[in-house]
Amino acid sequence: MLKKLFKSFRSPLRRAHQPHSTPHVLNNNQHPIQRGQISRHAISVVERLQNAGYEAYLVGGCVRDLLLGIEPKDFDVATSATPEQVRAEFRNARVIGRRFKLVHVHFGREIIETATFRANHPEGDEEENSNQSSRNESGRILRDNVYGTLEDDAQRRDFTINALYYDPVSERILDYANGMHDIRNNLVRLIGNPTQRYQEDPVRMLRAVRFAAKLDFDIEKHSADPIHDLAHLLGGIPAARLFDEVLKLFLSGYAIYTYDLLVDYGLFGQLFPASAAALRQNPEYTDTLIRNALDNTDLRIHQGKPVTPAFLFAALLWPALPARVIRLQERGMPAIPAMQEAAHELIAEQCQRIAVPKRFTMPIREIWDMQERLPRRSGKRADLLLENPRFRAGYDFLLLRESAGEETGGLGDWWTEYQDASDSDRRVMIRNLSSKDEPGSAPRKRRRSGGGKRKRAPQNGGAGE
């Protein structure tokens, strides 16, 4: 009874004792960041919180990117104010989240994410308040609302390069974790014990890969060593969260390097089990197709063209599909129904690991379905396919398959010519078709081929319109 009574008086700010650390302070003449590079709304949030008597700083990726000469995509604020106190200061603010409660301060389309300083979770004899913090049996943090000081917050952040605090009022940077050292040496380094930090949140392994790829940094040795052995912990992460993480990994302009790191650290198989199996069984074809798709995706992003996850997921999963189609055909199922059934099974399995929304799974299946329909061009079929809203994505996917070495009997060349031909020339092309020009199943033939007529480059590689 007394224990429960005393526990009820605990403040949300109560935390395990941490030794005080003095930050390395960089004045405005010791770093390249200028106020003019920063969102005026972010500066406004910091200044308003400071004027209300709270500590407040810009923190994380925006500070890191400004130091590296990269334009930040958003600005985050860390403060000593609780979410409720932040909400009281801004009428345009909304408290969000349960696992990690924070505040979104809205300025039109721009959102300034504002988080309260966090502290380490109770350990040993300290009991967790389930409303503030909780872990599962593997050590993964399920709730993280233990508030603390600025020093505590710096030690709770994941990587040293993300634990830099910038005060736009004094124009000083506070560095508690030697993040400046790691930025200068191009290193992604976890704060604290790497095994424990990955167990707290296995997604940190994906974040380490993403930052290494984005910044062209190396993952520091001690931070890299446990990844392969702990990769299986991603199986406990909610599938919806992994979908968001995969979009960040592959749709940010550095997908090929990201893919290499995921494969090297054993993480790719945790995200795409069937594709990883295909990579082991048919490494040259699978690797080439995935790389070509990712290369096209990166190119479109760098050119400022639109991208969509549907084409990318279609490419990442395709190498696992043909064997399934063939097995169904061997049981007597016709080609198109076999493709549709195999696609349904593969996507359903993948969604158990990564929750791909239906708005993307439907186009994936339609792109794959086009691979069985594109060889069937006799009569009016070719014109009907050309009018299909998924024709362009299906055609680009056909070229992607051919670029990886699939032999399609010149199908890509034929469709390239057909699109640009006049009506009379199209009729001649249809009449010239023979039975051998219409193979039954797109996935059946797959071998390396060299040379050949140059084809129109895929326009939707890893993207789609």
Q: Which residues are catalytic?
A: 74, 76, 158
- Which of the 8 DSSP states describes residue 438? S
Q: Is residue 391 within 8 Å of 385, Cβ to Cβ?
A: yes
Residue 87's contacts (CB-CB under 8 Å, 6 or more residues apart) are 93, 94, 95, 103
Secondary structure class of 125 (helix, strand, coil) = coil
Distance CA 93, CA 109 (A): 13
Q: Are strands 24-26 and 141-144 parallel, antiparallel or unpaired?
A: unpaired
What does each C-alpha distance from 277 to 120, 170, 263, 274, 283 come to in angstroms? 39, 54, 12, 5, 9
Q: Is residue 131 within 8 Å of 93, Cβ to Cβ?
A: no
Which tokens hold the place of 80?
């000593």
Residue with tokens 């992994």: 242
